[in-house]
Each structure stands twice: as structure tokens, then as C-alpha cells.
């Protein structure tokens, strides 16, 4: 997994503002027969693998670690606030 520098800067600010321990990457159910991946801020759980990616603390659900290998998290500041995008997810046939 990669986190762009712009996403890192936005995540650092969010982690500080929300007093969260890390970015959490979690299993968000199935869509079109494939696992979906979600992102939130929070505390790591027992079933998470802990990583530091571009200096961002990241907790990844062990069930989906293999799906995050080629992911890139991009971020940008918008009028509504920071927006993030996961790139590199497998395409789904729906």
C-alpha cells in the first residue's frame, strides 16, 4: 500500500483533530461477490496488522491485508473538506 504525500498531510491533520490513533482499513462486506474495503479513523483492533506507511499509522484488518498490496490512497482538500480515494482495487464485474 502507498499513501501519497498530499494524503499523508491531510491524514496527519485529521488524526490530530479527531485524536485518533490510526487510519483503519477494514472489511466492509461483499459487493458483486468481491470483498469491499472501507477506511475510517480510530483505534486498532486485535485482528488488525499495524503498519506505518509514509509516516501514517495504519491498522489493516488481517482478513484483507492481501487486497491492500497494490492500493494507493490519494487525498485532496475540497470545499467540503478532505476527500480520499482508494486506487488499485480490483475491478468488479457487476
Condensed to tens digits (0 to 9), the pLDDT of residues 57-93 reads 999 999 999 989 999 999 999 999 999 999 987 666 6
Does any domain span residue 93? no
Does any domain span residue 92? no
Does any domain span residue 94? no
In which domain, by residue range, is 44 found?
Answer: 2-87
Does any domain span residue 30? yes
Q: Rounded distance, CA 37 to CA 89, Å?
A: 9
Average pLDDT value for residue range 2-31: 94
Does any domain span residue 8? yes
Any idea what the CATH number is for the domain that residue 51 is in? 2.60.300.12
Total number of domains in the chain: 1
DSSP state of 4: -
Q: What's the confidence (pLDDT) of residue 50?
A: 97
Q: What's the confidence (pLDDT) of residue 42?
A: 95
Q: Is the pTM of this model over 0.75?
A: yes
Amino acid at each position: 500500500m502507498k499513501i501519497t504525500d498530499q494524503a499523508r498531510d491531510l491524514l496527519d491533520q485529521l488524526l490530530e483533530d479527531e485524536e485518533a490513533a490510526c487510519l483503519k482499513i477494514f472489511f466492509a462486506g461483499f459487493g458483486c461477490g468481491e470483498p469491499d474495503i472501507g477506511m475510517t479513523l480510530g483505534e486498532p483492533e486485535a485482528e488488525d496488522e499495524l503498519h506505518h506507511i509514509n509516516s501514517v499509522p495504519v491498522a489493516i484488518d488481517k482478513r484483507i491485508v492481501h487486497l491492500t498490496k497494490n492500493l494507493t490512497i490519494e487525498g485532496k482538500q475540497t470545499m467540503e473538506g478532505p476527500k480520499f480515494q482508494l486506487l488499485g482495487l480490483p475491478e468488479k464485474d457487476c
